[in-house]
A and B are shown apart, each in its own frame.
Chain A
Amino acid sequence: MSLDAFGITHSYDDDPVLADVQLSLAAESSVAIMGSSGCGKTTLLSVLGLLLAPRAGTVAFDGRSSSTMDEPERARLRGERIGFVFQTAQLVGSLRAWENVVVPARFRAGKAAGAAARARDLLDGFGLSDYAEHFPHQLSLGQRRRIALARALLLDPALVIADEPTDDLDADNARFVADTLFARTQEGGSLIVATHDRVLAERADAILMLEDGHLDPVSDT
């Protein structure tokens, strides 16, 4: 899925965060967004993932502007074509590990049937088959993040948006998460990753730096 952002501008109260941001992401490609803490990376990812409506500008998916979509259609697009990996695992405490993984399917008609089996497969692949019945508080940070990753990939999204996916993780877990995310681009998916980690960023097809609300290319890798 290709993504194009035009003139994205956003502010909180009178504090500008994004100023006329442009971004293009071709299908089967990846981009890393870097920048200092508080520079607006999460806000930009929220706009690109249709979680936040910008003050100005628009985001288009496969050439179709999100401004022409109504709320249920944007929700459907988020659920079916975009996978989110949040800064923290964001697991629901009342749900078991596998139930957390299948949450996106709960809101998609016709997807729930095979979701449990798909979740088990993902957990197997992530080395978490023994923890499928555990609740989040019974899991380590690395295990929770891998479960969150499985949730993002459950419906095989065309685009994955990851916000600091390896932050706080030990080397092994960080490598696993990074490998999994970038493997998606080999399988036809697109990836936007916000990170402080230069090593992770350099695995992307392009690196962009967000500074003073502007997004500029750093280099092609």
Chain B
Amino acid sequence: MWSLIRQSIAMRKVQSASVLVGVVLGVASLFALFLLYQGVFSGIATSISRDGADLLVIPSDAESSVSDDDLLFTGAPVTMYFSSSVADQIAGIDGVERVTGQFYGQTLDASCCSSIGAVRLVGYDASIDWVIRPWATMDGGEIPSQLVEGEVIIGSNVKGFGVDDPKVLGNPVTVVAVLAPTGTDLDDCILMDIDQVRAISAATDGYGHYWEKYGDPTGLLSAVLVSVDDGDQDAVAAKIEALGGVHVIKSAEAVKEVQGQMRVVFQVMLGAGVLLAVASLAKLFARFFSMAWDRRRELALYRAVGASRRDISRLIAGEAAVLVGAGSAVGLVLGVGLYRLMLGLLTTQGGFPFIACAPLVVAGGAVIIIVIFAIAGALAVAAPLRQAGRIDPASALQQVDID
């Protein structure tokens, strides 16, 4: 039976290749879209669900080097500073519930540290922070309310700290917590006590010009995160802007904007993906719809030499299964490549929170898409199966050779 299926597919090379390519493209586009959609919207949902800051305040000169979305969603810790007194000023504004500051240090890599790949050093004050805490997990207990010298919290993507004696800039460190995936560049950060990062940065070669420009790092911050009392965020943001020298990013607005943009992007992509899938299913139908009629003499011969109706059904269904199965397998692999390509392209267009799908979700998506195409394949062969059931084996005795 298998050899007959193989021969039949091989004999109809163009038809079979056309169906195969159609299934591959349909599966690949749907799978890539599924992975992207899940990643983006779970990133956004995760961002919203965490008790993050309502406002992000940065030096006004940072606007020229990085966009609001990048700052908010990629967490892009850029080299930007203003006086830490800004945090005190903001804390004194009516409607501000609480504030916490962060200090962005240098980029670290394997040449100086245990990290594999580039990671960013970020200083924060654990005693007053409420932004980082919800993302942190720690085996066997609470996250310390104060990080002491040598204690670090690492992002979910930071690798290389599972060794016996992890180091940062030559100093031994202890990992006290690992952040859950945030879908932002925070996943690639190492968090330390803010004063320790300031001290490290002050001693870092090549950073002198920053301190000449902004002053002693012990009195600087890179960003102030603000939680607003229930009320008008816009009014509070305006008051902060009025302090001068600062730029305020409103989280809720930015999230809503990105959500809207992503929805449009995905609607367009989903439309294209669905069209591709429909085209591939149409090919599948076209390939099999007239199959039983086109091959009635061949199928009649098989009936005559001993094939039952069920055997003929298995033969037809087997061809569809091979084409759909092989197309789906290749399509899933291609879909992963397409997903990476599209993610790269989207990332170049702006920052957005993104959390890669868990293996179980990836597997679930793959199964759903395979089931969709399997059902479509089954529908495509339903007509030929009905026709095949009516094939008269006696027609094999007619005086016409089989093509």
Assuming the contacts A76-B306, A107-B306, A151-B305, asked whether A95 and B396 have C-beta atoms less than 8 A apart, the reply is no
Judging by beta carbons under 8 Å apart, are A88 and B401 in contact?
A: yes
Fill in one digit per residue for A85-99: 1 if any B CB lies within 8 Å of its CB, else 0.
011111111110001
Q: Would A51 and B304 be within 8 Å (CB), given that A106-B1, A107-B311 are in contact?
A: yes
B3 located at the interface, meaning its Cβ lies under 8 Å from any Cβ of chain A in the complex = yes
Given contacts A94-B7, A94-B8, A106-B4, whether A80 and B394 have CB atoms under 8 Å apart is no
Indicate whether B397 reaches chain A with its CB closer than 8 angstroms.
Answer: yes
From the candidates B309, B392, B396, name the one contacting A84 in the complex (CB within 8 A). B396
A72 within 8 A of B: yes
Cα distance, A104 to B11, chains bound together (Å): 20
In the bound complex, residues from chain A placing their C-beta under 8 Å from that of B303 are: 51, 75
How far is B311's CA from A176's CA once the two chains are assembled, in angstroms?
A: 33
**Chain A residues whose CB sits within 8 angstroms of the CB of B164 once the complex forms:** none
- Interface code A39-79, partner B: CB below 8 Å = 1, 0 otherwise? 00011011001011000000000000000000110011011
For residues 91 through 115 of chain A, which have their beta carbon under 8 Å from a beta carbon of chain B? Answer: 91-95, 99, 103-104, 106-108
Nearest residue, chain A, Cβ from B298: A92
B301 interface hit (Cβ, 8 Å): yes
B1: chain A residues at CB < 8 Å are: 106-107
A to B CB contacts below 8 Å, 11 in the list: A46-B394, A78-B304, A80-B306, A87-B397, A88-B399, A89-B401, A91-B401, A99-B7, A104-B306, A108-B306, A163-B397
- Asked if B297 is at the interface (CB within 8 A of a chain A CB), the reply is yes
Interface residues of B in 345-399 (CB under 8 A from A): 392-394, 396-399
> Would A72 and B310 be within 8 Å (CB), given that A46-B394, A99-B3, A151-B305 are in contact?
yes
Q: Find out whether the CB atom of A71 lies under 8 angstroms from the CB atom of B309.
A: yes
* Minimal Cβ-Cβ distance residue in A for B1: A106
CA separation between A71 and B306, bound complex, in Å?
A: 10
Residue numbers in A under 8 Å from B307 (CB-CB): 75, 79, 107
Closest to A104 in B: B305
- How far, in whole Å, are A94 and B302 apart by their CA atoms in the complex? 14
Chain A residues touching B, range: 20 to 34
Q: How far is the CB of A9 from chain B (nearest CB, A)?
A: 16
Which B residues, 301 to 359, have Cβ-Cβ distances below 8 Å to chain A? 301-311
Identity of the chain A residue whose Cβ is nearest the Cβ of B5 in the assembled complex: A106
Chain B hits for A49, CB < 8 A: 304
A116 and chain B: residue at smallest CB distance: B3
When A51-B394, A106-B1, A107-B302 are in contact, do A90 and B308 touch as well, CB less than 8 Å?
no
Task: Give Cα A99 to B2, complex, Å.
Answer: 12
Report the Cα distance A17→B303, complex, angstroms.
Answer: 23
Which of A71, A92, A104: most chain B CB closer than 10 A? A92
Does chain A have a CB within 8 A of B400? yes
Most buried by B among A46, A72, A99, A163: A46
CB < 8 Å neighbour of A87 from B308, B309, B399:
B399
Q: Does B403 contact A (CB under 8 A)?
A: yes
Q: Mark B45-86, 1 if CB is under 8 A from A, else 0.
A: 000000000000000000000000000000000000000000
Contact residues in A for B301 (Cβ distance below 8 Å): 90, 92, 103
Q: Is the CB of A88 within 8 A of B304?
A: no
* Chain B proximity mask over A15-55: 1 for CB below 8 Å, otherwise 0: 00000000000000000000000000011011001011000
Of the candidates B7, B310, B399, the one having the most CB atoms from chain A within 10 angstroms of its own CB is B399
